[in-house]
Amino acid sequence: MLYAKHVLFKAGKTELTKTVEHFNISKGWIYRAWVIFPPGCAGLVKIRIEHEGHPIIPINKSDYIKADDYVFELPMYYEVPEEPYGITIEGWNEDDTYDHTITLMLLVLPKAFILPVGAVEGIMESLSNLIIRTGAEE
């Protein structure tokens, strides 16, 4: 499933007055993420994406990403173990004149669709079963 969240960051904010938006996604694996900064942001909008207080993008708790007319396309293998899975987008807009809308898109897939993660786990399980059966037969 592809999820999209558009977050409006009002002009003239600071880290102390940041915007915080929450939304839920379903169980699976976050396979890819896109963070879209439209033209005009000029590096003045700073954001971070988290799950239950743990940063996902970027992975350092004290860091934020920023850009202008740029799409961050990020391959990911992040497990969503149970529903609802709460995602938080937080940030602020230091532009003193214009509001800006940043878009986050997440592609969430079942584990079986994700290779090599799903394939490797399947191979390891098969090898484990083979070793256990071989050992039990002796």
Task: Establish if 120 belongs to a structural domain.
Answer: no
In a domain, 119, yes or no: no
If one counts the domains in the chain, the total is: 1
Within a domain: 118? no
Q: Structure pTM?
A: 0.78
Does a structural domain hold residue 133? no
Burial tier of 30 (Cβ tally within 10 Å: 0-12, 13-18, 19+): buried
Is residue 134 scored above 60 in pLDDT?
Answer: no
29-47 tens-digit pLDDT: 888 999 999 999 999 999 9
Residue 10 resides in a domain: yes
CA 67 to chain centre: 17
Query: Residue 123 falls within a domain, yes or no?
Result: no
Neighbours of 55 (CB within 10 A): 17
Q: Does residue 121 fall inside a structural domain?
A: no
Which CATH number fits the domain that encloses residue 62? 2.60.120.380
What pLDDT, on a 0 to 100 scale, did the predictor assign at position 90? 96
Per-residue pLDDT of 63-121, as tens digits, reads 999 999 999 999 988 887 776 678 999 999 999 999 999 999 999 888 777 666 555 55
